[in-house]
Structures are given as structure tokens and as C-alpha cells.
Amino acid sequence: MLKGIDPLLSGDLLQILDDMGHGDQLLLVDRNYPAISSGRPVIRLGEVGIMRAAKAILSVFPLDSFISHPLERMEVENDPTKTTAVQNELLAYASQIEGRPLEFGVIPRLDFYGRARNVYAVVHTLDALPYGCFIFHKGVI
């Protein structure tokens, strides 16, 4: 156990987050996402929801301030204006913790799968809610 570090952040996950550099991308996904097929390292968090995982990650992970959309989400039902409750909650939380208003970049579902092949790593949860798939762009401290 480490003092001041969320216990959800295992040694393997902390190592990946620490090794990432400015501009590297982290994928946070739900149980339905084919994490292994991305070909990137996968950290499995088990029975953890997207918001619980996002809060732990964002407690140590700075979002990029040099780009307009340091958070990206999978498009819902081919409608870029449609969002889910977890997408709205994650955006509100990230804006709060970053101390600045944020907007999602929206990626069509099939394009999202292609983008996943270029991320640094994948954090896989067992959240059953649909469209719980996000890309975080790492910033600087």
C-alpha cells in the first residue's frame, strides 16, 4: 500500500502511467470492448466501473492542455450529439479535476477501433454500460 495513491492503481498500471510521455494515449474501456485485439498492453481492473477507474487514473494522470480534445469518446449509435450518463459524468469530473472546461472529441465506433491500435495501453474494466470507451491524452505537469 502507498499513502495517498488510490489502491486501484496497481504497480503495473502505475508503471504504465508513469512511462507514458506527453501526447501518449491511454484507452479506458468497458467489458464489451475487444481489448486484446488492439495489440497494446492491457491492464485488467476487474469488477470496476468506468467512473471508478477514471477517478483513480485522473488522480495521477494530467490531461494534455495543448490540444482541443484531450478526452475522446466513442460515438453513441452513429449520432455525435448523443451521449450516455457515464460519458457526461466523466466529462464533468475531468473538467472539475483539471480546473478547466473540457469537451469530448467524438470518434465513430469503427474508427475508434482503428485508433486503439495506436494507444500506449488499454485499461479494461468490467463495466456493463454501453459506450464506455474513452481515450485520454497525457499532458505535462
Q: Tell me which residues are annotated as active site.
A: 22
**CB contact at 8 A, 3 and 25:** no
Strand order in 71-74's β-sheet? 42-46, 121-125, 25-29, 134-137, 71-74, 105-107
End-to-end CA, the chain: 24
CA atoms within 13 A on the CB side of 125: 24
What cell does 112 get?
475508434
